[in-house]
Amino acid sequence: MEVSEMQRQFADFSSSLFREGYLDAQFTQLQQLQDETNPDFVVEVVSLFFDDSQRLLNDLTHALEQENVDFQKVDAHVHQLKGSSSSIGAHRVTSACIPFRHFCEMRNTEACRACLQQVKQEYFLVKNKLQTLLRMEQQILAAGGSIPLIA
Amino acid sequence: MIDTLLKLYSSTTHTIVTHHFFLHQLKLTVPFTSKERKNEFTYKGFYSLVGDCFVNGLRAKGCLRSGFPPLLRHLQEKIKPGGRFGMESCNCIEQHWQTDDLLIKYRYISDFFIALAYFSIPLELVYFVKKSSVFPYKWVLVQFGAFIVLCGATHLINLWMFTVHSRTVEIVQAIAKVLTALVSCVTALMLVHIIPDLLSVKTRELFLKNKAEELDREMGFIRTQEETGRHVRMLTREIRSTLDRHTILRTTFIELGRTLALEECALWMPTHSGLELQLAYTFRQQNPVGYTVPIQLPVISQVFNTNRAVRISPNCPVARIRPVAGRYMPGEVVAVRVPLLHLSNFHNDDWPELSTKRYAVMVLMLPSDSARQWHVHELELVEVVADQVAVALSHAAILEESMRAQEQLIQQNIALDLARQEAETAIRARNDFLAVMNHEMRTPMHGIIALSSLLQETELTPEQRLMVETVLKSSNLLATLINDVLDLSRLEDGSLRLDSGTFNLHALFREVFNLVKPIASVKKLTLTLDLAQDIPEFAVGDEKRLMQILLNIVGNAVKFSKAGSVSIKAVVAKSASSRDFPASELISLKTDDLFYLQVQVKDSGPGVNLHDIPKLFTKFSDSKYLTSKDSPGAGLGLAICKRFVTLMEGHIWIESQGVGKGCTVMFMVKLGLPKQSHQTKPLLDTKLQPKLAQTSLSGLKVLLVDENGFTRTITKGLLLHLGCKVTTCSLDKCLWIVSSDYKVAVLDLCMPGVEGYDIAVQIRRKFMRQHERPLLLGVIANGDQITRESCIRIGVDSCIPKPISVDNMRTALLELLER
């Protein structure tokens, strides 16, 4: 595949991600932070995000399966997840966390579980997308091209 | 005679009288000489004789009547001349003995009795006077006693004159008589004085008796009155002790009925319509059937017209409560009016007597067959009671009303509280909604706008270009609308606060001018800007909002003018121009710190109908005067302008000569004057910043404190990108690590709970002196004023909201370092 073709596909895919709300401006910021001094910044950050979120989701699943749900702990986890997803710009994950927190305050176990499912779903979607994006980037870089900046 | 003798004999004992009497008796029946008397008539012999007589007498008490004469005969035999006592007869007496015997006997005995009586009278007197404690005339008594005693003595001595007597006896007799005469005369004289006295005593006695009777009567009367008074007081106390209408009336009736022993009492109250009297309460009947009586009866009018109790006929309708048993005469009936006072009566200045009011009638009936009459004091009692009842009833009514009003107020309070809670909930819900939608709505909008503008820059066919332009225009409009709505709701809440900063006023006007000029020139409108000389170059205020206001107004002017010119004129308001001001509340127009900026935007557009001017400033008003179809009509622009202007403590108003004659929009806002004129940051973020910043930020030692590893990494990357030297740590370790080496410490304050704030406080405390302490930059979840204020209160030097962009971080750090 041609580099320009790959670049075009990358640009399309990228803008579609933004358009569909998977990513927001924060991700752009992150991309801007990547420079000569820090060439793998985005990759590092994204993998860190995956690890962190996975851990959090596991903890959440575990906590909500208990007999007596410790809503404070659950709330703390969700807060953290929300923070990380908003830092990376995973917009939909952040949005899914908002009602989750609300239901934690209401101590509604059933609703929390439903929200957890929603969050998981969004997370896996965005994870997928990000992995695809990163793979495309790698491909372009391997082919010798440069990553086009999406304004 | 013998009977009386016997009586005396049996009644008296051992008195000298008896002794002498017997002696005398013996002397009567036994004629013997003095010599014989002296010799034979010794006490010894006599007493044995007396003794015999006594014994015989006692023995034959029952038949002494018959017994005594034989006794006497017996004695006579014994003492006959020649008998035991035998005596030498005195010839003289013997001869006369047979013929004058009876007369002498009678005279003797009468004398004796007289003497006896005379002696016993003073004894009686003395005895009874001694017994009585009051006797004013003691000396009279003595005198009278003496008189009587002497008379008695005289008569007694007379007794000796019947028989042969010596000269001594005569002398004694003479003396006694003389004395008696003396005393009698004196007494007679005395009596002349005394008897009138005694008689007057009698009259006085009578008089006193009359007086006493009168007093008795009066006392009886007073007692009755006092009773009545007591009853009234008791009644009043009973009536006043309760505020319940029924209890008052029932008590009244019971007490009245008891006090006056009534057969029946009844209360007739006026109905609501005021045309009839209805039987409301009775004394004896338990459930009064609803009798009604028209109020216009003459009898009732008579009762109403006077405040005294009126006697009425038992046959009138108000008195015929019970079926009258035909045989008996119905008792007298009295009726009295009871004024029913209302709360409204007491609002007048004059006493309730003079205002029109309603009366009830109290009817009292005496028992039917008692022939009792109504006494005056009873009527007075009834009147007093009626007054008291009226007062008590009015108190009860007032109390009832006030309690009802109080209950109503309580209900209203509860309802108001509920409504307020609901309103608060609604506002909270709305705010929550806005807070969420704020970000959510803008983001896609910005996405659309950004991408459409990107699209515009690509290769497009003219149709596509047109479509894209339309999309862009509509989305711009939508974005503005959304922003306006969000702003307006925040404005209305009062939660929008103006920013305050120093800015270049001249530059602002020029900017607005430059922005509007292209559109104006397209429409072939001439745009002029006229700034007065005394407008300061720099001012303190909310630059963004002021620009918004100006843009809005000028934009409107340009939009609605098809041809002609639009002029912008700005002056500093002086007192002279306050005449133009519709509502004047300017206190000081120019002080050292403040000035009022007055701006006038004139256009030559279609103008506004005078009636429509007020509507322009209301939200979403339909502007009917627009003729052009492609300019959007409804909008919030002017409404938002008005609110911003009001927030800046100013006024905005529109003048127009009428339709087709253009219109002028004028507004005044309060702005501050900067204390020192220094170079402020320019209006727009320029791209020149990063180069300057990086040089000043590079090498800056920053301590990054964040619990969340992930965000820590990102922020660290950001800071590294800006050229800082970053050390990261978690919350618990940061207090150890923080030292004066670090110029800035970035703290994450969005964690739930107050751990971040605590850390900030502790860091502050750790460093005593200001210049050693690293500057604290707090990362907060949302950038609203309240959170900022609480951060500043804790002692954080600056805040930066999430999401952190490179530019934001840069600006914040620069600001921090500048201070």
pLDDT digit string (tens) for B527-557?
A: 888 888 888 888 888 888 888 888 888 888 8
User: What's the CA gap between A125 and B789, in Å, rounded?
Assistant: 39
Q: What is the token pair recorded at B526?
A: 């001439």
Main-chain phi, psi angles of B594, to 5 degrees:
-125, 160
Say how far apart CA B406 and CA B802 lie, in whole Å.
Answer: 54
pLDDT at res. B426 = 92
The phi and psi torsions of B336 (rounded to 5 degrees) equal -140, 150
Check residues B630 and B652 and name the one with the higher pLDDT.
B652
The predicted structure's pLDDT at residue B144: 79
Indicate the pLDDT class of residue B583, thresholds 50, 70 and 90: very low
pLDDT tens for B232-246 read 788 778 777 777 777
What is the percent of chain A where pLDDT is above 90?
A: 15
Interface predicted TM-score (ipTM): 0.76
Q: How far apart are CA B257 and CA B265, in angstroms?
A: 7
Per-residue pLDDT band for B284 (boundaries 50, 70, 90) equals: confident
Is residue B34 over pLDDT 70? no
CA distances from B709 to A73, B713, B733 (A): 17, 6, 14
Average pLDDT, chain B: 75
CB distance B773 to B764 below 8 Å: yes
Distances (CA, A) of B713 to A24, B362, B709: 18, 98, 6
**If phi over 0 gives left and psi between -120 and 50 gives alpha, with beta otherwise, what is residue B723?**
left
**pLDDT score of B472 more than 50:** yes
CB B525 within 8 A of CB B561: yes
Q: Which residues contact B449 (CB under 8 A, 6 or more apart)?
A: B472, B475, B476, B479
What pLDDT, in 10s, does the model give residues B770-807?
Answer: 667 778 888 887 767 777 888 888 878 888 877 677 77
Whether the predicted pLDDT of B349 surpasses 60: no
| Torsion angle of C-alpha atoms B680, B683, B689, B693, degrees rounded to 10 | 40
* Residues B745/B797, Cβ–Cβ less than 8 Å: no
pTM beyond cutoff 0.80: no
Chain A residues bordering chain B (beta-carbon distance below 8 Å): 15, 18-19, 21, 24-26, 29-30, 32-33, 35, 37-38, 41, 44-45, 48-49, 52, 75-76, 79-80, 83-84, 86-89, 91, 95, 98, 151
Q: Rounded to whole angstroms, what are the CA distances from A80 to A54, B401, B748, B782?
A: 12, 63, 12, 16
The pLDDT > 90 percentage for chain B reads 5
Which whole number is the average pLDDT over B138-153? 80
The phi, psi pair for B773, rounded to 5°, reads -75, 140
CB pairs A-B closer than 8 Å: 74
**Separation between Cα atoms, residue B445 and residue B452, nearest integer Å:** 10
Would you place residue B28 in the very low, low, confident or very high pLDDT band (cuts 50, 70, 90)?
low
| CA pseudo-torsion sign B32, B33, B36, B42 | positive
Interface check for B737 against chain A (CB to CB < 8 A): the answer is: no
High-pLDDT (> 70) share of chain B, % = 73
E runs forming strands in A28-151: none
Residue A93 has pLDDT above 70, yes or no: yes
Strand pairing class (B651-656; B525-531): unpaired
Q: For B363-386, what is each residue's pLDDT tens digit?
A: 888 887 777 778 887 888 888 888
Model confidence at B320: pLDDT above 50: yes
Report residue B289's pLDDT band, with 50, 70 and 90 as the boundaries.
low
Q: Kindly state the tokens that stand for B236.
A: 């009043």
Nearest to A83 among B443, B450, B711 (CB): B711
String of DSSP letters for B98-137: TTSHHHHHHHHHHHHHHHHHHHHHHHHHHHHHHHSS--S-
pLDDT average, residue stretch B656-681: 75
Rounded mean pLDDT, A73-101: 87
**Confidence band for A1, pLDDT divided at 50, 70 and 90:** low
The Cβ-side half-sphere exposure at B248, using a 13 Å CA radius, reads: 22
Q: What contacts A17, CB < 8 A, 6 or more positions away?
A: A23, A129, A133
Q: Give yes or no for residue B356 having a pLDDT over 90.
A: no
Q: Is the pLDDT of residue B355 over 50?
A: no
Contact B714 A24 (CB under 8 A): no
β-pairing, B744-748 with B292-294? Answer: unpaired
* pLDDT value, residue A58: 92
B123: amino acid identity, one letter: L
Q: What is the mean pLDDT of residues B253-272?
A: 80
Query: Predicted confidence band at B582 (pLDDT cuts at 50, 70, 90)?
Result: very low
Rounded distance between C-alpha atoms, residue B24 and residue B31, angstroms: 11
Residue with tokens 């009844």, as numbered in its chain:
B266
CA-based nearest residue to B751, from B742, B759, B761: B759
Give dist(CA B642, CA B650) in Å, integer: 9
The length of chain B in residues reads 819
pLDDT winner (highest mean) among B30-44, B632-646, B748-762: B748-762
- Least confident span in B156-165, B319-328, B654-663: B319-328
The CB density around residue B10, as the number of other CB atoms within 10 Å, is: 12
B91-101: per-residue pLDDT in tens? 444 445 556 78
Task: Determine if residue B662 is left, alpha or beta; phi over 0 gives left, psi from -120 to 50 gives alpha, anything else beta.
Answer: left
Quickly tell me which residue has 């800046």 as its tokens.
Answer: B648
CB-based contacts of B546, cutoff 8 Å, min separation 6:
B508, B644, B648, B669, B671
Q: From CA B618, how far away is CA B600, in angstroms rounded?
A: 20
Q: Is B518 at the interface with chain A, CB within 8 A?
A: no
Tell me: the pLDDT tens digits for A131-148? 998 888 888 888 887 777
Distance CA B816, CA B719 (A): 15
Q: Give the range among B82-86, B324-328, B438-442, B616-620 with minimum mean pLDDT.
A: B82-86
Residue B736, pLDDT above cutoff 60: yes
Closest residue in A to B453 (Cα) is: A151
Yes or no: say if B318 and B300 are a contact pair by the CB < 8 Å rule: yes
CA-nearest residue to B709 within chain A is A52
Residues of chain B positioned with their CB less than 8 A from the CB of A24: 443
Residue B447 forms contact with A (CB below 8 Å): yes
Q: Which residue has the higher pLDDT, B754 or A5?
A: A5
Number of helices (H) and strands (E) in chain B: give both, helices first. Answer: 23, 18
Cα within 13 Å of Cα(B655), Cβ side: 9
- Check CB contact of B443 with chain A, cutoff 8 Å: yes
Tell me B634's DSSP state.
-
- Cβ contact, residue pair A87, B444, below 8 Å: no
For B437, nearest residue in chain A (alpha carbons):
A95
Are A110 and B736 a contacting pair, CB within 8 Å?
A: no
Sheet strands side by side (includes B744-748): B725-729, B701-705, B744-748, B775-780, B798-801
Tokens of B434: 């806005």
Per this entry, what is the length of chain A?
Answer: 151
Contact A29 B752 (CB under 8 A): no
Q: Which of B194, B205, B106, B117 is nearest to B156 (CA)?
A: B117
Candidates B580, B751, B753, B724; CA nearest to B651 is: B580
Q: Sort strands B663-672 and B594-603 into parallel, antiparallel or unpaired.
A: antiparallel
Residue type, B323: P
Whether B317 and B297 have beta carbons less than 8 Å apart is answered as yes
Residue B46 has pLDDT above 60, yes or no: no
Residue B217: what pLDDT?
94
Q: How many CB atoms lie within 10 A of CB B355?
A: 14
Contacts 24+ apart (CB under 8 A), B191-195: B194/B137, B194/B140
